[in-house]
Amino acid sequence: MLRGIHNLISPELIKILMEMGHGDEIVFGDSNFPAKSHALANLVRADGHSITAMLDAVLPLFPLDYAVDYSLILMQYRGDKEPGVWSKYKERLSAWPDGAKPPSILAKPDFYERARQAYAVVATSESEGFANLILRKGIIRL
């Protein structure tokens, strides 16, 4: 055990977060996301946990990318109303440097293609619709 590491972060996930470099991306997929077929590199299971809980665990350790106009990539939704989970994501990210930027929103096929290029995919049990997201890693600025 280590101090300061949230108990939702598995040894496998901490290893992946440490390996990631500036510009690498990590996907947090909801319960409907085709995680296995889209994780061309690393797949981490976080069964039983929501994406918001995973963000609470990961964001204290994960610097967001300052060098782009977004820190968060979301999958475009269908309908007139923005998915409620998005406001939870934006709230959590805004507490961290470079996290208050507007998200990039990609059409589903483009999001899936971007996910295939990601360094890792974290499969969660998130049940809210259109909850998939991608975070882009930045650098630690002193």
50, two tokens: 């929501």
Fold designation for 22-136: RbsD-like fold (3.40.1650)
Distances (CA, A) of 133 to 4, 9, 141: 25, 18, 24
Confidence of residue 2 (pLDDT cuts 50, 70, 90): confident
| pLDDT range class, residue 111, cuts 50, 70, 90 | very high
- CA–chain centroid gap for 97, Å, is 16
User: Residue 142 has what pLDDT?
Assistant: 74
**Contact between 8 and 53 (Cβ < 8 Å):** yes
pLDDT digits 0-9 by tens, 52-107 = 999 999 999 999 999 999 999 999 998 889 999 999 999 999 999 999 999 999 99
Q: What integer pLDDT is reported at residue 31 of this predicted model? A: 96
Residue of 6, 22, 38, 49 with catalytic role: 22
Q: Which residue has the higher pLDDT, 2 or 98?
A: 98
Greatest Cα pair distance in the chain: 46
Q: Which position has the higher pLDDT, 28 or 1?
A: 28
* pLDDT in the model for residue 32: 95
pLDDT in tens, 26-53: 999 999 999 999 998 899 999 999 999 9
Q: What angle do CA 105, 100, 138 make, to 5 degrees?
A: 85
Both tokens of 112, joined, read 């899936």
Question: Any catalytic annotation for residue 38?
Answer: no
Task: State how far the Cα of 110 lies from the Cα of 98, in Å rounded to an integer.
Answer: 24
**All structural domains of the chain with their residue ranges:** 22-136
Q: pTM score, two decimals?
A: 0.95
